[in-house]
Amino acid sequence: MLKRLEDIGHIIQNAILFNPRNWSKEGRDFPVGPSPVEVVKRLFALLEARKVDYVLVGGIALLYYIEGRNTQDLDLLLAVKDLEQLPEIEIVERDVYFARGLFEGVQVDFWLNTNPLFRRVQKEHARRVQFLGQTVRLATVEGLLLLKMYALPSLYRQGDFSRVSLYESDIATLMYKYDPDMERLLAIVGEYVGKGDRASLREIVEEIRERVQRFKGGGGG
Summarised one tens digit per residue, pLDDT across range 119-176 is 999 999 999 987 645 788 999 999 999 999 999 999 999 999 998 999 999 999 999 9
Greater pLDDT, 5 or 93? 93
pLDDT of residue 38: 80
For the stretch 51-72, pLDDT in tens is: 999 999 998 888 888 876 666 6
pLDDT of residue 129: 86
Among 47, 121, 46, residue whose Cα is nearest residue 77: 121
Indicate whether 131 belongs to any domain.
Answer: yes
Confidence of residue 86 (pLDDT cuts 50, 70, 90): very high
pLDDT of residue 98: 97
Whether residue 63 is found in the same domain as residue 38? yes
Out of 109-113, 157-161, 215-219, give the one with best mean pLDDT: 109-113
Indicate the burial class of 136 (C-beta count within 10 angstroms; 0-12, 13-18, 19 or more): buried
Residue 55 is part of a domain; what is its CATH number?
A: 3.30.460
The count of domains in the chain is: 2
Query: What mean pLDDT, rounded, does the chain reach?
Result: 84
Under 8 Å between Cβ of 74 and 110: no
Greater pLDDT, 218 or 187? 187
Whether residue 91 is found in the same domain as residue 175? no
pLDDT of residue 135: 80
* Integer angstrom CA distances of residue 154 from 8, 73, 161, 196: 28, 21, 11, 12
Least confident of 45-59, 95-109, 190-204, 206-220: 206-220
C-alpha span between 161 and 169 (Å, rounded): 12
Greater pLDDT, 174 or 73? 174
Name the residue range of residue 183's domain: 143-216
pLDDT of residue 33: 57
Domain boundary among 124, 139, 154: 139
For the stretch 4-40, pLDDT in tens is: 555 555 555 555 443 434 434 444 444 455 677 788 8
The answer to whether the Cα torsion of 118, 124, 126, 128 is positive or negative is: positive
Instruction: Count CB neighbours of 199 within 10 A.
Output: 13
Whether residue 125 is found in the same domain as residue 175? no
C-alpha span between 130 and 201 (Å, rounded): 34
Q: In what order do the strands lie in the sheet with 98-103?
A: 90-94, 98-103, 106-112, 74-78, 55-57, 134-139, 126-131
Under 8 Å between Cβ of 161 and 194: no
Mean of pLDDT values over 79-102: 96
Greater pLDDT, 49 or 1? 49
Among 167, 193, 204, 184, residue whose Cα is nearest residue 115: 193
Greater pLDDT, 207 or 15? 207
> What is the rounded radius of gyration, in angstroms, for the C-alpha atoms of the chain?
18
Indicate whether 39 belongs to any domain.
Answer: yes
Residues 6+ positions from 180 with CB-CB distance below 8 Å: 141, 142, 145, 174
Task: Using alpha carbons only, give the angle 162, 164, 166 rounded to the nearest 5 degrees.
Answer: 70
C-alpha span between 206 and 24 (Å, rounded): 44
pLDDT of residue 70: 60
* Integer angstrom CA distances of residue 44 from 55, 186, 209: 11, 32, 36
Whether residue 135 is found in the same domain as residue 149? no
Read off the pTM.
0.83
Whether residue 132 is found in the same domain as residue 32? yes
Among 64, 50, 55, 30, residue whose Cα is nearest residue 173: 64
pLDDT of residue 24: 43
